[in-house]
Structure 1
Amino acid sequence: MTDKRSGSKKLWKWITAIIITLFVIIGGASLYLSLSWKPVLTKKIKEVVYRGSGHLYQIDFKDIQLNLLSGSVTVDSIFLRPDTAIFAQRKKAGTAPTHLFQVKLARLKLRHIRILQVYFQQKIAMNDIILENPSINMIYNKVYKKADTAKAGRSLYQLISGTLKSVHIKGIKIADADFDYVNGSTSLVLNSVKHLNVQIRDFRLDARSESDTTRFYYTKDVFFELAGYHAVSKDKLYTMKADTITGSATGKKINIKGFKVIPMYPDLAFSRKLKIQKDRYDLVFGQVSFSGVDFMKFNTDRVIHAKALEIKNTEARIFMNREMPPGKGNKGRNFPHVALQRLPVPVTIDTLKFKKVNVAYTEYNPMSQKRGTVNIDQLNGHILNVTNDSLSRVKNHYAAADLHAQLIKAAQLHILINFDLSSKNGAFTFKGNIGKLDMTSLNPLSRPLGLVEIETGQIQKIDFEAKASEQGSEGVMQLYYNQLKIKLLKEGEEGKPAHQKGLLSFLANTLIIKDANPSKGEAVRTARIHYERPPGASFFNLLWKSVYTGMRETIGLGIIPMKSPEETRKAVVKKMEDRKEKKEQKKQQKQGEKRND
């Protein structure tokens, strides 16, 4: 029994010794091969990058660590850079790419790579590549492709086929990258993002993958995600945030959730920092979704094309302070279809969709010292052919909008707008209708901005149609209403509410105001829309002022001329000076009373 136990122990000792010896031999061999293969692998990596890019890129790194047992490779301190001399030659020949890349990263990991297969069969097969904390510069260059060279370049597989037979990587992960989009001609950073994550699925490069139409640049998909985006505008007046930005190359989509443009200061304080009249924006986009995005077109030609862009669950608050001087600029250049033409890249959105968008446009009237707001709620609809691309405009130079909304929380609005994308003066046409409305619902707007209070009045409907441009608008309106009665108000001072101008209100209702359309026994009156736009008026201001002038003429106020912007500004300045003078007099009076005490 003792002999058996002794023999068993000896057997296990032998087995243990053999296993340890095998591990030492394998480990030593692995270490030897790793050290001896390091220069071979280093040379092979640099050769593949250089040849595979058509001599356009070179790669340098500090160290490479190879583990034959696990099939892993770790490369430290990598720098991938383009050869500017080669790029210049290819640009002159018309064969250069639109974008160059410059990449720095601390560490690159290649896992489960079949190293012997690489050496003996010239095939690369691995599970994944991980790029940790890379810094990526994507450099845009204006490149003119020559007609005879546009399709003459060799494919990526043809470039590497002399060195490798195939490459297959199940996944590539780029973690926490800093990404800059740079203008190559000026070296200016056009856009910059931090903490970008990218996942590339099933990269395959061989003779067959070249013609696989289900792949995007040899991959089954490129997915990117940016979480917690945060930036400050160049003028330091806005903060921009986004919860998440995600996209898929083969899915041809981009989704942005929780994007916000947040002003740094309250409305009046914000406007007074600008010194002149400018809109203040407070925007919250619940969801912005692009679909049918042509990523390939953007990469090769720097052209943005999407089949659809949907803006959903959005709140847009716009504020204007009329106490500030108007400035010398012409806001006609900011009409939506005019501003679109100034974008630095060609853009085409086949259909721009709106779902559940609420817009609030507020003006501060320094005469009444009150705010008035026009609310456009539950905006739904679409705009077709949103483009600044010259070739697209040759086919169709109109963008057509069809929009439905609730106006001032009381009436249904339907409007059609036809934007002339080729117009030099921002020309467009619009027509639409407004449904039933209790006119007293207009008081939150008419009291602070027009110093008019509507006592009674019912609108049955409004039909309008006009042509417009930077110069103004011309058109017609039919306003059906009855039982209209108003009060004319005088602004209150020192916080007191506005009060009625009794005699003038009586005279207005008796001699000027027409209380109905059609009047009893008469045909429906058709009013003329005529509005001369001042340079400081925005697109939205032009629309509602055009409708307002038609309403004024219909109810009888058309015989009273509207003040010009200059006259209005003079009145505002005088009123503000009078208030300042009175305030100073009261201050001096109080100081005198204190001295007498």
Structure 2
Amino acid sequence: MGRLSKIPRKWLMLIYGGIGILAILIIANILVNRIIQHTVGEKLQHLSPQLKISYSSIKSNLFTSSLALSNLTIVYTPDNSKHQHSVHFPAVKLSGINLLTMLFHRTLSINNLKLSNGEINLDRYLMNRKDTAPMQLLAQVPFKSIAVNHLQLSTFQVLEDHQLLLRGNLGIDDININDLKDAFTTGNFHFGVVKSNLSDINYALPNAYHTLMVKQLTIDSRQGLLEIDSLQLLPQYSKADFFRKTGNQPLFVESSVAGISIHNFDIRQLFDKKLVAGKIVLSYPVLNIYSEATPVKQSSLFIDFRKMLAAIRTDSLRMRRSSIAYETTSGAQLALHNDMEMNKLDIRITDSLPRIHFKTLTCALTDIHATLPGSRQNLLIKQLNIDREGTLQATSLRITPQYNKMEMGQKSGHQVDVVDATISGITISKLDVSQCLQQKLVAEQIWIKESNFYIFRDRRLPRLSRYKPLPVAALKDIPIDIRVQHFKLSTSTLLYEEFPKDKLQTGVLRFEKLQLSLAPFINHPTPSDPDHMELTMEGAIMGSGSIKAAIYMPFAPGKDYNVNGTIDNLDVTSLNPSAENLGNFHVESGLLNHLAFQFSFNDEKASGKVVGEYHNLVLDKLKGQQKKIAKFPSFMLKHVIIPKNKDKSLPVDHRTGIIDYKFDHTRALSFYLLKSLLSGIEASFTFGFLLPK
């Protein structure tokens, strides 16, 4: 007491005053904190009857402007139903709360919001019905707007119906919601840098019966980088049970991607369902699709995919070492491996299919395997490349039957053309690849290089009597829009083998040095296009002589097709392999020096003429399976029906035959043209009507 008496009175007053002020502040802090805690608790309890909020404790600090909640649990139950969402965080801390903006501007301004070790349980039923009540709840918050400098979710996990959906960490800077009563549009909702590391993503796509699984997903918006490690899309049922258990969903998909890197992307665009990036790289993507041949409804998987990707725009899309396989329940198949790069890619979703636009595309496909639909024929392509100039190069193509030539028709139950072809290469120049994705084939030229074609038909089987239109009408029925300036086939070989209806041996017809040209190649002409296509071809028949022909094919319906051509220097004995087994006659000798043909044809008949010149033509009529000479018919052929020589010394009208042949629409065009030509040759003989049929 003596010591205190020595302290000046004014200093004592300051000390006592300071202690008093400190005591008042401590008491005020306790009281204010109690008020804050009570007010926050009251607000949380009465925020909405649809929300049940509980916590073990609330702590606040007026000096540090912080608020901490322990064991915060929020349960959202709309409409008094059994379905609910729930959120639980053992620790929630708000620091740097700006009380002035809260009081005077009704803005909840927080420097840091940290939620630790949280668990979010979502109800699939509420998610699928797209419940909008959570947005309405925000409108009941006693704030007009929210501003958070930094939000950190540490070690949280999200579950759907108590099954893990994802886990990880998430940090977002500069969050601003201008008006809680408005929708979260780009004008009302802003955020800055996003950094996240998510793992074990396991998301069942609604109504699609497929699950999306991601091992790890990392986002760093400051660097504009999104990386995905190991993505899988898996069906929820086996291939054998999928269509039955999913209500005839027509798409069964198994897919995986080893890694996806998205560079220079704008994360804000993701909230508008747009993916805008500088570069997208997919490493080792594998896509296996199995679908119903005639689906009864559109795939929900495709619909969801279309809705998710409202637009994709990127300067570069690259697929590295991809593998794609497609199969239908009818047996049609497609398999390929490729490297691909697209530049300036822009995918915009329409009401039907995606409209994909890009500036350039390069790709290298290898080992393409496909089954041609409805034909039991396989297509194999060793390599297919597309460069930036739109040049498509395909090499080493094979078309092969799935069964041997006799079984093919037996499997079908009727006559079919069995094709076995080897094509050295195909080049399509100035191909508009972007148009291909819109079912349009637009190019300068299609060039099929040296090839060998083998076709077999078994005439012993029943023939289908289906209507076959003329070429232009048939092309118009193709749904793909074809616009090619020039189509050509380089020197090739065509071997046609036929098993006659009443024979024990096949007959063969071979065309060598076959070349073909078609200009233009258009199936849906416009008024500005030429009025016709011109088809020219040439080759050698059975290794002898030459045949040349040109066919005028008009676009206008009702106009006649015109055919002009010649056959020169044909050794007629070379036709014996087909004549003996298909026509029942044998050629002893003969040289067809020149045969000119000119005729027109339409949907009803062919009309025109042939003018021929030949020497030393001697034919024998055959009978029986042993190919014995029928003496009387052979005598008639040699001495009455077919003169041995017809040369230029004879008047032209004696070497002319009139073509008048009725069109059978159940026959192929090649049959129509050949029969028209033969009818003129038959008519060129005085007694041609006596020729054996």
**Separation (CA, whole Å) in 1 of partners of 2:399 and 2:454:** 10
* Cα distance change, pair 516–555 in 1 and its aligned pair in 2 (3 A): farther
Please report how far the alpha carbon of residue 449 of structure 1 lies from its aligned counterpart in structure 2 after TM superposition.
1.1
The CA distance in 1 between the partners of 2:325 and 2:361, in whole Å, is 16
Distance 1:168 1:540, change over 3 A: closer
Asked whether the equivalents of residues 257 and 287 of structure 1 are also in contact (C-alpha less than 8 Å), the reply is: yes
Match of 1:510 in 2: 639
Equivalent pair of 1:515/1:555 in contact (CA under 8 Å):
no
Is the 1:302–1:346 Cα contact (8 Å) retained in structure 2?
A: yes
TM-score (norm 1): 0.63
Structure 1 residues 506 and 45: CA distance shift in structure 2, 3 A? farther
Matches within 5 A, 1:419-458: 419-423=553-557, 427-458=560-591
Alignment counterpart, residue 261 of structure 2, candidates 101, 107, 110: 110
Pairwise CA distance, 1:276: 2.5
Listed as ranges, the matches of 1:33-432 within 5 Å are: 63-65=216-218, 74-76=227-229, 106-110=257-261, 129-133=281-285, 135=287, 172-178=318-324, 193-200=335-342, 221-235=360-374, 237-248=376-387, 250-299=388-437, 301-330=438-467, 332-333=468-469, 335-391=470-526, 395-423=529-557, 427-432=560-565
Structure 1 residue matching 2:680: 3-state secondary structure = helix
Contact 1:62 1:76 survives alignment (8 Å): yes
User: What displacement does 1:561 show?
Assistant: 6.7
- The answer to whether the Cα contact below 8 Å between 1:365 and 1:449 also exists between their aligned partners in 2 is yes
The CA distance in 2 between the partners of 1:387 and 1:529, in whole Å, is 30
Q: Deviations over 1:464-492 (max 9, x none)?
A: 01112343421100110122221111022
Counterparts of 1:114 and 1:532, CA distance in 2: 67
Taking a change above 3 Å as real, the CA distance of residues 217 and 112 of structure 1, as seen in their structure-2 partners, is closer
Code of the aligned partner of 1:74: E
The one-letter code matched in structure 1 to 2:546 is Q
- Looking at structure 2, the residues matched to 218 and 516 of structure 1 have their Cα atoms a distance apart, in angstroms, of 66
2:503 & 2:455 partners in 1: Cα distance?
20
Change (3 A) 1:559 1:109: closer
Higher share of residues assigned strand: 2
CA contact 2:585–2:621 (8 Å) conserved in 1: yes
Stretch moving more, 547-556 or 378-387: 547-556
What is the rounded CA distance, in whole Å, between the counterparts of 1:287 and 1:67 in structure 2?
46
**3-state SS of paired residue (1:515):** coil
Query: Which structure has more helix as a fraction of its residues?
Result: 1
Of residues 667, 675, 693, the one that matches 1:545 is 675
Q: In structure 2, what is the Cα distance between the partners aligned to 1:463 and 1:263?
A: 37
**Deviations 1:397-433 (Å, cap 9, x if unpaired)?**
31101222112210111110111234369x5221111
- Compared with structure 1, are the counterparts of its residues 45 and 338 closer, same or farther at alpha carbon in structure 2 (3 Å cutoff)? farther
- Structure 2 gap segments, 5+ residues each: 1-153, 155-167, 174-191, 199-211, 234-252, 267-275, 290-310, 347-355
3-state SS of 1:378 partner: strand
With the length of structure 2 as denominator, give the TM-score of the two structures: 0.55
Residue 312 of structure 1 deviates from its aligned partner by: 0.9
The corresponding residue for 2:93 is none
Question: Is the CA contact (8 Å cut-off) linking 1:354 and 1:381 kept in structure 2?
Answer: yes
Q: Relative to structure 1, is the Cα distance of residues 434 and 35 closer, same or farther in structure 2, using a 3 angstrom cutoff?
A: same
Q: Give the C-alpha shift of residue 173 in structure 1.
A: 3.5
Q: Deviations over 1:287-331 (max 9, x none)?
A: 1111111223344x542211100011112222222222223213x
Could you tell me how far apart the structure 2 residues matched to 1:237 and 1:438 are?
38
Q: Over aligned residues, Cα RMSD in angstroms?
A: 4.5
Count of equivalent residues: 442
Post-superposition shift, 1:237?
2.1
1:247–1:255: 8 Å Cα contact kept in structure 2? yes
Distance, in Å, in 2 between the alignment partners of 1:295 and 1:420 is 28
Q: Is the 8 A contact 1:105 1:131 kept in 2?
A: no
Over 3 Å counting, the alpha-carbon distance change for 1:287 and 1:540 in structure 2 is same
Distance 1:422 1:226 in 2: 40
Percentage of matched positions with identical amino acids: 16
Q: Deviations over 1:134-189 (max 9, x none)?
A: 5499xxxxxxxxxxxxxxxxxx9xx99xxxxxx876x734431437799xxxxx99
Contact 2:604–2:663 (CA under 8 A) maintained in structure 1 = yes
Q: Deviations over 1:335-384 (max 9, x none)?
A: 54333211112111110011012212222223332222222211224100
Q: Distance in 1 between matches of 2:679 and 2:657?
A: 9
Contact 1:38-1:64 within 8 A present in 2 as well: no
Say whether the 8 Å CA contact 1:181–1:190 is kept in structure 2: yes
SS at match of 1:436: strand
Between the aligned partners of 1:232 and 1:542, the Cα distance in structure 2 is 30
Larger Rg: 2
Q: What is the CA–CA distance in structure 1 between the aligned matches of 2:394 and 2:169, rounded to whole Å?
A: 48
- In the alignment, residue 672 of structure 2 is paired with which amino acid? L
